[in-house]
Amino acid sequence: MATPAVAPPLPEARDATERFLEIRATTRVLVSRLSSDDAQAQSMPDASPAKWHLAHTTWFFETFVLEPGVAGYVCLDPCFRDLFNSYYNTIGPLYPRSARGLITRPSLDETLAYREHVDDALADALVGGRLSDDRHDVLELGLQHEQQHQELILTDAKHLLFQNPLRPAYAESRAPRVEKSRAARWLAFDEGLVRIGHDGTAFAFDNEGPRHRVFVHAYEIQDRPVTVGAYLEFMDDSGYTRPELWVSDGWSALRERQWKAPLYWEPSSDGWRVFTLAGLRALGLEEPVSHVSWYEADAYARWAGARLPTEAEWELAAEAEIVDGNFLERALFHPAPSSGSQFFGDVWEWTASAYAPYPGFRPLEGNLGEYNGKFMCNQFVLRGGSALTPKSHVRPTYRNFFYPNARWQLSGLRLARDRGAPR
């Protein structure tokens, strides 16, 4: 009996499958540099174990894509539905975020088997054209969500390894680039009514839109982030001991947590050293300062006679000064910035803008409406992406957000000032 002919998958399905498997494989490669013990540990409530990141991103595809979008799909273990839910209260109970490091079962091998189960099912559905039409946009959201967790895996692993007095490296270092030093330049912008926000022509998270009009006053903004060398001047001028430079909550945080320098800086006999994913090394004075809180960024700006830019000011300048970067590939080594204008791919940059909805904002429908909107309270917006950010996420409209005391992300700052302000 002849074997019936099977139609090959459509090119679109093949491309979607390849992209899905490539992004999933990248996550696995990032975790492969960690031991099973590394992957289990949780260094603080804001960070998550690498094993949990592996499981949660898998849970996302299973919960929001496979279960509602592929007829006959059978989940591997119903217990995972609650165990790896991050913050979706509409889905069901949540395991406490601060206790994720206590989830010793399933094991790392069992977690990887869970990923393989979901990957095989979703790849098979894509190739066979069995994924329902209404799940393709959710699939894309899941891929973007996975890439967000790739960045988190690295930042969380860095914080974890820093707890070890041996200061072990995540990966070996390459020699950093050496760039000629130059002073930051001020870019001038006139006042006017401008449009910011995503225009809807490609993927964007819901919090990036809708595009809307904002009035900006005449301002200037520097063409590069504040450097380590410049930040050292602030420290040498008693920046961490002068309460007049700090907002009240920031001064309280400084005293409670005994901040004396950015996170990962350590004093040594020959000056400050910094812990990176490649281990301890000397400070690079021309590199952007990183791992500072909004409180520290705001205090530095006051000391410098400037301020943090609003996100509208930042976006307007970034659209005018777009420069490419290598992003994830150079994440481990923190090379010095280029000599030209740089708005993307060195550090996330704190802005003066509270994280709030744009005019006309509507969260996604259904359970996914919890993705961004419910966090629009008591946080500040960061822009630009860091050296750990996947390249496809780096765009002028991308809005990251954290509480003002957060320091474990690669967060830095850029100065702005009103046009005509005293020099």
Percent helix, strand, coil in the chain, to 5, is 40, 15, 45
* Per-run averaged pLDDT (10 residues), the chain, 423 residues: 43 83 97 98 98 98 98 95 93 94 97 98 97 96 97 98 97 63 88 96 95 97 96 98 98 98 96 95 95 98 98 95 42 41 85 97 86 90 94 93 97 95 60
Provide the angle, in degrees to the nearest 10, between the axes of the packed helices 108-127 and 11-32: 170
Decide if 208 contacts 259 (C-beta within 8 A).
no
156 lies in the same domain as 192: no
Does some domain include residue 298? yes
Give the domain CATH number at 153: 1.20.120
Which DSSP category does 349 fall into?
Answer: E
Look at residue 55 and give its three-state secondary structure.
helix
Number of domains in the chain: 2
- What's the pLDDT at 420? 77
- What's the pLDDT at 182? 73
Decide if 30 contacts 154 (C-beta within 8 A).
yes
Give the domain CATH number at 224: 3.90.1580.10
205 lies in the same domain as 314: yes
Does some domain include residue 174? no
Q: Domain range holding 364?
A: 186-418
Report the distance separating Cα 254 and Cα 249, nearest Å: 9
Q: From edge to edge, which strands make up the β-sheet containing 411-412?
A: 400-402, 380-383, 348-354, 411-412
Q: Helices (DSSP H) in 188-345: which residue ranges?
A: 228-236, 248-257, 294-303, 311-320
Query: How many residues are given for the chain?
Result: 423
Among candidate residues 130, 162, 194, the one where a domain is terminated: 162
Q: Is 319 exposed, middle or buried (0-12, 13-18, 19+ CB in 10 A)?
A: middle
239 lies in the same domain as 274: yes
User: Residue 418 is inside which H or E element, if any?
Assistant: strand 416-418
Tokens standing for residue 312 = 């509208």
192 lies in the same domain as 115: no
Q: What is the pTM of this model?
A: 0.92
